[in-house]
Amino acid sequence: MNIELTGIIATFLLTLVIAIPLGKYLAKVFAGEKVWTDFLKPLETGIYKLSGINIKEQMNWKQQLKALLTINILWLFYGFFVLIFQDKLPFNPDGNPGMTPDLAFNTIISFVANCNLQHYSGESGVSYLTQQYVLMFLQFVSAATGIAAAVVLFKAFRDKTTTELGNFWEFFVKSITRLLLPLSFVMALILTFNGTPASYEGKDQFISLQGDTVHVSRGPAAQMIAIKHLGTNGGGYFGANSAHPFENPSYFTNMVELIAQVIIPIAMVIAFGYFIRRKKLAWTIFGVMTIGLFMLLIPMLSSELGGNPALAKMGISQTTGAMEGKEVRFGPAASAYWATVTTIISTGSVNSMHDSTMPMSGTWQLLGMMINSFYGGCGVGLLNYFIYLIVAVFISGLMVGRTPEFLGHKVEAREIKIAAIITLLSPFLILAGTAIASYIFTSHGDAAWAVQPKNWLNNPGFHGFSEMLYEMTSSNANNGSGFEGLGDNNIFWNLSTGIVIFLGRFLPIIGPVAIAGLLGAKKFIPESAGTLKTDTKTFALMTFAVILVLNALSYFPALALGPLAEYFTMLK
């Protein structure tokens, strides 16, 4: 048991060793200072030239968002049609069919939004062309979109008063050339040399030792698995995601994938502090996020290592912990650590099946996604946290009776309204979505869809409700993991989660960028004795309280109906 804990401690420490210098490096990259990767400049210049982009052109926050949304909408159209017609396009050695329009709608939104909820299975639902030219492509560019949006926010607070927030295309392209692509390249090779397929060969076939004929799905997986983690995307090449022995061959690769998905979200926090020259603020934010990680991780470890009480009652040895849906080579500790980071960060890749984890683990997974800003996804994690910060500034301001200020800019009604709308959006989408799904399940069980609503759930009772709650929460958080027992490839889930993903992605990008743009343009007020300092322990505690109170109030009733009810039933 102890040997498993040393594994996750080592993984976390290695993550910090890589992420912190990476953050300092990113601050320099986006500030245009000298870095050792400057030899890539000609590549970037070439990209700008071919694309007709002049990076000297400064954009204000509205122009930034226009550029961001334009290119994202373009990807939606491009990907939708390729997915539908993939059967008629080349690079389809396994002869997989084209997607139905509702599945393509869901899949394309899901990948453009960095969510990677998958209602298809990689082996049978997509061709090699779509795996690479649509899905893997979007894993790069959606992560870069999130990072670029966060850099716009950085820009707003670097100088005292400014409306010139840099050039969106420059941030976007640099996120790829200076960060995502080089790291992916190294990681893809590590995976390939540890057993993950990387070639374009189609399905193989062999006769097993006992004489069964076995077909083996293969393909260029390593390339996609690298970016799926680095970009906090999570969409796997194979159906079982990183539980699949090809996607994640050993304990070593498991550590690599765990580290890869956490480094950029942490690095972005550090980069924020270094970029705006307020390092202490970055460390305060990092502290709150890390405490959040451990508060979810420790109870999850305890419930998974403790094993399934129902199996213990049957007399089965639980010394190895809960093993349903887990792989022997990782064990329950590394699986619990993975389940924690993949839900607090919006990766959503899995190395064990969350549907089969213990009820309390399910609670922590859901809560991690509901909060969605303990590190959070590439770039967007910090944007989500920024909203909590603004709310905390506002509430603190009310408590001490002063006009709330953030980094020398007055926070006024307009900014608070935006923050309030974004804060309320998540509970609205998650709870209304789950409510509608529950209503259809109970009242329209016979609807003639690909999967009849009465057959949606793989598990009865409270756990079944958790499956629906998880799906909506994962969609809103742009996480993409699932309680995969849910029969989700039908028109209801494809459309509803598609809409939730879309709103849950773009409004929480537009909101914080708008607030930052508005604040950055305001007059700078120098710090005085009366200023509310946002980099103190007191304020960190305040932010933490805001996060807990907002989420507890919003979601406790839903959690009580699902995983908590299941937990208490199992205690009997």
Partner 1 sequence: MKKYIIQSIRLTLVLLVLLCVVYPVTVAFIGKMSNGNGGGEKITKNGKTVGYALLGQSFSKPQYFWGRPSAVAYNAAGSAGSNKGPSNPDYLKEVQSRIDTLLKYNPGIKKSDIPADMVTASGSGLDPNISEQGAAIQIQRVAKARNIDEKKVKELIAMNTLKPFMGVFGPSSVNVLKLNLALDEL
Within residues 5-34, the interface with partner 1 by CB under 8 A covers: 6-7, 10
DSSP per position, 200-217: ----EEEE-TTS-EEEE-
Work out whether 488 is an interface residue with partner 1 (CB under 8 A): no
Q: How far is it, in rounded angstroms, from Cα 433 to Cα 442?
A: 14
CB atoms within 10 A of CB 306: 15
Query: What letter does residue 172 receive in the DSSP assignment?
Result: H
Given the complex with partner 1, which of 252 and 421 has the nearer CB atom?
252
Among 47, 425, 450, 507, binds partner 1 (CB under 8 A): 47
Q: How far is it, in rounded angstroms, from Cα 413 to Cα 273?
A: 26
Smallest separation (angstroms) from partner 1 to the CB of 118 = 12
Smallest separation (angstroms) from partner 1 to the CB of 440 = 21
Work out whether 365 is an interface residue with partner 1 (CB under 8 A): no
Cβ neighbors of 555 (< 8 A, separation 6 or more) are 366, 367, 370, 427, 430, 431
Among 329, 410, 454, 522, binds partner 1 (CB under 8 A): 329
Angle, helices 413-443 vs 461-476, to 10°: value is: 140
Work out whether 41 is an interface residue with partner 1 (CB under 8 A): no
Work out whether 50 is an interface residue with partner 1 (CB under 8 A): yes
Work out whether 223 is an interface residue with partner 1 (CB under 8 A): yes
Angle, helices 413-443 vs 537-559, to 10°: value is: 20
Query: What letter does residue 33 receive in the DSSP assignment?
Result: -
Q: How far is it, in rounded angstroms, from Cα 488 to Cα 455?
A: 10
Q: How far is it, in rounded angstroms, from Cα 287 to Cα 341?
A: 16
Smallest separation (angstroms) from partner 1 to the CB of 295 = 22
Given the complex with partner 1, which of 460 and 526 has the nearer CB atom?
460
Given the complex with partner 1, which of 442 and 569 has the nearer CB atom?
569
Work out whether 324 is an interface residue with partner 1 (CB under 8 A): yes
CA-angle at 500, arms to 496 and 504, nearest 5°: 175
Among 21, 62, 87, 250, binds partner 1 (CB under 8 A): 250
Work out whether 42 is an interface residue with partner 1 (CB under 8 A): no
Work out whether 4 is an interface residue with partner 1 (CB under 8 A): yes
Given the complex with partner 1, which of 189 and 561 has the nearer CB atom?
189
Among 101, 159, 161, 193, binds partner 1 (CB under 8 A): 193
CB contact at 8 A, 286 and 314: no
Among 34, 36, 39, 51, binds partner 1 (CB under 8 A): 51
Q: How many residues bind partner 1 (CB under 8 A)?
A: 116
Two tokens at 328?
């022997």
Cα–Cα distances in angstroms (integers) from residue 189 to residues 132, 139, 195, 542, in the given order? 17, 18, 10, 44
Work out whether 358 is an interface residue with partner 1 (CB under 8 A): yes
Cβ neighbors of 78 (< 8 A, separation 6 or more) are 134
Two tokens at 110?
């899901």
CB contact at 8 A, 434 and 469: yes
> Site map for partner 1, 55-94, x if CB under 8 A?
-----------xx--xx--xx--x----------------
Contacting partner 1 within 464-483 (CB under 8 A)? 466, 483
Q: For residue 461, which of 308, 357, 565 has the smallest C-alpha distance?
A: 565
Smallest separation (angstroms) from partner 1 to the CB of 168 = 9
Among 192, 261, 384, 396, binds partner 1 (CB under 8 A): 192
Contacting partner 1 within 151-170 (CB under 8 A)? 169
Work out whether 174 is an interface residue with partner 1 (CB under 8 A): no
Q: For tokens 């550590």, name the residue.
A: 255
Contacting partner 1 within 550-569 (CB under 8 A)? 566, 569
Contacting partner 1 within 229-248 (CB under 8 A)? 238-240, 243-246
Smallest separation (angstroms) from partner 1 to the CB of 461 = 7
Contacting partner 1 within 399-458 (CB under 8 A)? 458
Given the complex with partner 1, which of 192 and 373 has the nearer CB atom?
192
For residue 557, count CB atoms less than 10 angstroms from its CB and return exposed for 0-12, middle for 13-18, buried for 19 or more.
Answer: exposed
